[in-house]
Amino acid sequence: MSLEIRYSDEVKRARNDGGPLVALESTIITHGMPFPQNLAVARQVEADVRAGGATPATIAVIKGVLHIGLENAALENLAQATDVAKLSRADLAACLATGGTGATTVAATMIAAHLAGIGVFATGGIGGVHEGAAQTFDISADLMELAQTPVTVVAAGAKAILDVPKTLEVLETQGVPVIAVGQDSFPAFWSRESPLKAPLRMDSAAQIAAAHRMRAALGLPGGQLVANPIPATDEIPARTLAPIIAQAQSDATAACIKGKAVTPFLLQRIFELTQGRSLTANIALVRNNARLAAEIARHLIR
Ligand code: PSU
Ligand code: MN
C-alpha cells in the first residue's frame, strides 16, 4: 500500500518552476451542479485561474489515485459520472485504499492541496452548521478542516441554506480567521450582504497573503476563510431567496434527507425553484473567487 499521487502536466511544470497554484474542488462538479453546465464551469474556472496568472489544480480521486490537476478526459468523465463518492476528511483514505473514485469536498481538497504544497483554494461556498443542527448535529467537517490545515479558502461566504450565525460561531471557536473582502458585512453566497458583520475585513489580495504567511510564522496550524462577495450584477436578493430556501428545507425534511445528501439535495431544489437562476449566480461567484485566489497565489510566492 502506498499513496499514489498524479499531477497534471501543467501542475508538474508549475511545481518545478515554483509558480503560483490554485487548488479547485471536484464535489462542486459532481454534486453541486448539473451536467453539462458543471463541465463547462469547471473548465471556465480553470481558465479564470490561468488568466489570473496562476495554475489550476482540480483535485479528485480516480481509481484509487489522488489527482492534483485533472487532464481533460478525466474531468469529462468525472462531470458525467453518476456514481462518484463525495469525499470529506473521513472518506479520503478509505477511497484511496480501496481503489475507489470520488470527488473532494472543501475539507478533502484542503488536505490534498496542503500535501501538494498549494496554499490557496477557490470554491463556491463552504459547508457549515445546518439549520436544525441543535437536533441533527449536522455540522460540516469543512469547519474543523479550516482549523487544522493551512490552506486559505476563497468562498462567497456561507450559503443561506446554513445557519450562518452558528457557522460563524463555530469558526470563531475553532480559531479560524473569517475575512470579508472589501466590505464589513459577511457575504451570503447568492447575495452580497448578510445582516452579519464579518469578524475581519481586508481589501487586497496582498493583505490576505500576508496574513496567511503570518499564521505560518506564528506556527498556527489552520487556514483562513476568505469571504468574497458575489459580483453585484449577478446577486439574487436575500428576500427573493428566503422563501425558496425555506421551501427546499421543508422538502428535505419531508423526504428524510440526511448526512452527505443534504447539501446536494438543497442545491438541486433551489436550482429548480429559481428556474436555474441560482446556478447562474453560483457560476459567477465561483469565477470571481477563482480570480481572487489566483491573485492571492501570486502574492504567496513572492
Ligand atoms: N458549495 C457549493 N456547492 C457545493 C458545495 C459547497 O456551492 O457543491 C460542497 C462543497 O464540496 C462542500 C460540501 O465542501 O458541499 C459540504 O458538504 P457537507 O455539508 O456535507 O459537509
Ligand atoms: Mn453534513
Q: Atom 20, ligand 1: which residue's CA is nearest? A: 260
Please report the atom of ligand 1 found closest to the CA of residue 264: 8
pLDDT at res. 294: 98
Q: Atom 1, ligand 1: which residue's CA is nearest? A: 125
| Of 75, 94, 118, the domain-final residue | 118
105 Cβ below 6 A of ligand 1: yes
Please report the atom of ligand 1 found closest to the CA of residue 286: 7
pLDDT at res. 302: 81
pLDDT at res. 221: 95
The CATH number linked to 45 is: 3.40.1790.10
Q: DSSP state, 287?
A: H
CA distance 283 to 122: 12
pLDDT at res. 158: 86
* Interval 238-247: pLDDT, tens: 889 999 999 9
What are the residue ranges of helices labelled H in the chain?
9-17, 27-30, 37-51, 72-80, 89-97, 106-115, 133-136, 141-148, 164-173, 205-217, 238-254, 262-273, 277-300
* Interval 141-170: pLDDT, tens: 999 999 999 999 999 998 878 999 999 999
If asked whether residues 43 and 148 sit together in one domain, one would say no
* Ligand 2 centre distance from Cα of residue 163 (Å): 12
Answer whether residue 126 is part of any domain. Answer: no
Among the listed residues 25, 145, 193, 295, the single catalytic one is: 25
If asked whether residues 34 and 178 sit together in one domain, one would say no
Tell which one of 87, 106, 154 to mutate to probe ligand 1, the residue whose CB is within 8 A of the most ligand atoms. 106
Beta strands 200-202 and 178-181, pairing class: parallel
pTM of the full structure: 0.96
The count of structural domains within the chain is 2
For 276, other C-beta atoms within 10 Å of its C-beta total: 12
CA distance 118 to 134: 35
Answer whether residue 124 is part of any domain. Answer: no
If asked whether residues 66 and 206 sit together in one domain, one would say no
If asked whether residues 155 and 297 sit together in one domain, one would say yes
Q: Which three cell numbers stand for residue 43?
A: 473548465
pLDDT at res. 263: 87
If asked whether residues 162 and 96 sit together in one domain, one would say no
86 is catalytic: no
| Segments of the chain with pLDDT less than 50 | none
Answer whether residue 216 is part of any domain. Answer: yes
Degrees to nearest 5, angle at CA 90 with 88 and 92: 65
pLDDT at res. 28: 93
89 Cβ below 6 A of ligand 1: no
If asked whether residues 94 and 198 sit together in one domain, one would say no
Answer whether residue 123 is part of any domain. Answer: no
106 Cβ below 6 A of ligand 1: yes
If asked whether residues 277 and 190 sit together in one domain, one would say yes
If asked whether residues 185 and 111 sit together in one domain, one would say no
159 is catalytic: yes
| Of 118, 142, 172, the domain-final residue | 118
Among the listed residues 131, 145, 159, 193, the single catalytic one is: 159
Answer whether residue 162 is part of any domain. Answer: yes
pLDDT at res. 139: 96
| Of 92, 118, 144, the domain-final residue | 118
* Structural domain boundaries, residue 76: 1-118
